Amino acid sequence: MITNADAATRARAVIPGGVNSPVRAFGSVGGTPLSIVSARGPLVTDVTGRDYVDLVASWGPALLGHAHPEVVAAVQEAASRGLSFGASTPGETELAELVIDRLSIDGTPGIEKLRLVSTGTEATMTAIRIARGATGRDVVIKFAGHYHGHSDGLLAESGSGVATLGLPGSAGVPADIAGLTLVLPYNDRAAVLAAFEAHPGRIAAIIAEAAGANAGVLTPDEGFNRFLVDTAHDHGALFILDEVLTGFRVSVAGWWGLERTAGQDWVPDLVTFGKVIGGGMPLAGIGGRADLLDLLAPLGPVYQAGTLSGNPLAVAAGLATLRLADAEVYGRVDAAASVVSQALGDALTEAGVAHVISYAGSLFSVAFRDAPVRDYADARSQDAWRYPAFFHAMLDAGVSLPPSVFEAWFLTAAHDDAALARVIDALPVAARAAAAATPA
Ligand code: PLP
């Protein structure tokens, strides 16, 4: 029988680090990464045939759980009609209509048009190009600890794998490009105002995760997103809301939907989507005001294109996923997240481990410190060295957590009582392992 170690060794010989995305390598938790051969519902199965309750959910897309039969059937049906045409399809229009409809709340459209691409990285990269094209300016504000994909201008002090590996950014990014990105502390209004003061007439856009979820969860202070829109507009700039991770995951209309239904009366200029919109297939999108989206080629001067953009299989998976993702699904995900996060907190308290759990809807993460986490500096100032022992105790008990303390935990609508019980049963031992851990 082949083991995970065999699979990793073989992969490392031909794939850098043995992985096609860095966090999969278990770099910050150590040990042997899992090599997965299948997944169904709340479970993933590795090369040895062992299954794990999965709290990674493909880093977000698997909202319904893995391999939902209706989503798989939709993809199979689409595949039977051809894999890619390099031409428009009715499904792309249906998906754009569906997304626009889901983001229409009380008659206010959150977005008016949608362009489909294949990855969240492309979506944020294109949103910034639109903002620069629309304003004729070149500087962009982003927040420390927010991750918007791996395009050159957006890697500075980003979260996700860059945080996991403790990197300031990336080699290979020209200083001239990095210099066009201003990185500010999250939830810091004074810093945003000061940036506009210091760079009059130069800032094209503020880009922010709708709720931070790539340095652990960084919940926006109440009214912070609204402040960002207003401040951007006061200075002739645009606000790009990055919902790649939160979109269609935390509610029918993403994080913006949660704020909007809670009475926050603002609309972003541009919104980026990814992950759940493709139901596990490579699909992402840029939505926003029609006058901004119409700047894109072929109508306008801002160029963007993609051989596989709006791929019919990906669109079929996205349509099937969004059609199934109704209020009841979100209710189940919320309930599962609440059960697990509560049990997590109880287990750590019982074991005497200082911790704080941060929430953004059904997304949550733990930080090993006793004060709230409001920004990236807070997230980094924790006893992160407790996480590897915690993570491996959970893995030993058959629960697959994100292999980094700087990531959110993802529940799905398929996490039934049996799956939740396995997680809850594993937590006390893992919490004691975290308590017994010592700094490396
Ligand atoms: N934006 C956010 C908020 C993300 O979480 C991610 C990925 O994790 C991205 C953008 C990039 O998406 P992708 O990995 O599909 O390029």
Q: How confident is the model at residue 164 (pLDDT cuts 50, 70, 90)?
A: low
Q: Specify the DSSP element, H or E, that contains 348.
A: helix 327-350
Place of tokens 């010592």: 438
Q: What is the pLDDT, as a whole number, of residue 163? A: 63
- Picking from 191, 192, 186, 124, the residue whose alpha carbon sits closest to that of residue 152 is 124
Under 8 Å between Cβ of 325 and 98: no
CATH code for the domain defined by 4-64+327-436: 3.90.1150.10
Instruction: Residue 386: name the closest of 349, 343, 338, 354 by CA.
Output: 354
Domain with CATH 3.40.640.10 in the chain: 70-324
60 Cβ below 6 A of ligand 1: no
Asked if residues 368 and 353 have their Cβ atoms less than 8 Å apart, the reply is yes
Tell me if 422 sits within 8 A of 395, measured CB to CB.
no
Task: Choose among 367, 394, 338: nearest CA to 212.
Answer: 367
Q: What is the pLDDT of residue 162?
A: 65
State residue 21's pLDDT score. Answer: 96
Q: Which of 147, 151, 243 to mutate to test the pocket of ligand 1 (most atoms within 8 A of CB)?
A: 147
User: DSSP string spanning 33-92?
Assistant: PP-EEEEEBTEEEETTS-EEEESSGGGTT-TT-BT-HHHHHHHHHHHTT-S--SS--HHH
Task: Assess whether the C-beta atom of 242 lies below 6 angstroms from ligand 1.
Answer: yes
Phi, psi of 371 (to 5 degrees): -115, 155
CA distances from residue 49 to 37, 52, 67 in whole angstroms, order as listed: 8, 10, 17
Q: How many angstroms separate the alpha carbon of residue 235 from the centre of ligand 1?
A: 27
Average pLDDT over residues 275-287: 98
**165/161 Cα distance (integer angstroms):** 6
Indicate if ligand 1 lies below 6 Å from the C-beta of 149. yes
Tell me which residue has tokens 């810091």: 188
Examine the residue annotation and report whether 275 is marked as an active-site residue of this protein: yes
**Atom of ligand 1 at shortest distance to CA of 246?**
3
147 lines ligand 1 (CB under 6 A): yes
Radius of gyration from C-alpha coordinates of the chain: 21
Residues of the chain with CATH 3.90.1150.10: 4-64+327-436
In which band, very low, low, confident or very high, does the pLDDT at 277 lie, cut at 50, 70 and 90? Answer: very high
Q: If you average pLDDT over residues 145-169, what whole number do you get?
A: 78
Instruction: State both tokens at 119.
Output: 């990855």
Task: Please report the pLDDT score of residue 159 as a whole number.
Answer: 66
pLDDT score, position 312: 98
For residue 93, the one-letter residue type is T
- Mean pLDDT across 71-98: 98
Q: pLDDT > 90: what percent of the chain? A: 92
- Active-site residue flag, 330: no
Residue 337 has pLDDT above 60, yes or no: yes
Cis peptide bond N-terminal to 298, omega within 30: yes
- Starting from the edge strand earliest in sequence, which strands make up the sheet with 399-400, in order? 36-40, 43-46, 51-54, 399-400
Question: Cα separation of 209 and 145, whole Å?
Answer: 10
Grouping H, G, I as helix, E, B as strand and the rest as coil, residue 364 is: strand
User: Catalytic pick from 113, 142, 269, 275?
Assistant: 275
Check residue 262 and give its pLDDT: 94
Average pLDDT of the residues of the chain? 96
Distance CA(356)–CA(155), nearest Å, equals: 27
Choosing from 242, 269, 375, 378, which is the catalytic residue?
A: 242
- Residue 376 bears catalytic tag: no
* Domain 70-324 bears CATH identifier 3.40.640.10: yes
Q: Is the CB of 148 under 6 A from ligand 1?
A: yes
Q: Is residue 209 within 8 Å of 225, Cβ to Cβ? A: no
In the reported structure, the alpha carbon of residue 199 is separated from the centroid of ligand 1 by a whole-number distance in angstroms of 28
Assigned token pair, 250: 């935390």
Assigned token pair, 134: 């629309």
285: DSSP letter: E
In this prediction, what percent of the chain has a pLDDT beyond 70? Answer: 98
Using DSSP bridges, classify how beta strands 356-360 and 363-367 pair: parallel, antiparallel or unpaired.
Answer: antiparallel
> For ligand 1, what atom is nearest to the CA of residue 209?
3
Cis peptide bond prior to 168, omega within 30° of 0: no
Q: Is 249 in the pocket of ligand 1 (CB under 6 A)?
A: no
Q: 151, 159, 160, 161: which is closest to 121 by C-alpha? A: 151
Strand partners, 44: 39, 52
Instruction: Please give the average per-residue pLDDT across 34-44, as a whole number.
Output: 98
Q: What is the pLDDT of residue 157?
A: 76
Ligand 1, atom 10: nearest CA belongs to which residue? Answer: 148
pLDDT digits (tens, 9 = 90+) for 374-408: 999 999 999 999 999 999 999 999 999 999 999 99
217 in ligand 1 pocket by Cβ < 6 Å?
no
pLDDT class of 36 with cuts at 50, 70, 90: very high
The helix (H) or strand (E) run that includes residue 418 is helix 417-436
Length of the chain measured in residues: 440
Is 0.85 surpassed by the pTM of this model?
A: yes
Least confident stretch, 162-166, 179-183, 216-220, 242-246: 162-166
Among 52, 54, 142, 147, which one carries the catalytic annotation? 147
CB of 407 closer than 6 angstroms to any ligand 1 atom = no
User: From CA 338, how far away is CA 342, in angstroms rounded?
Assistant: 6
- Pull the structure tokens for residue 317: 């998976």
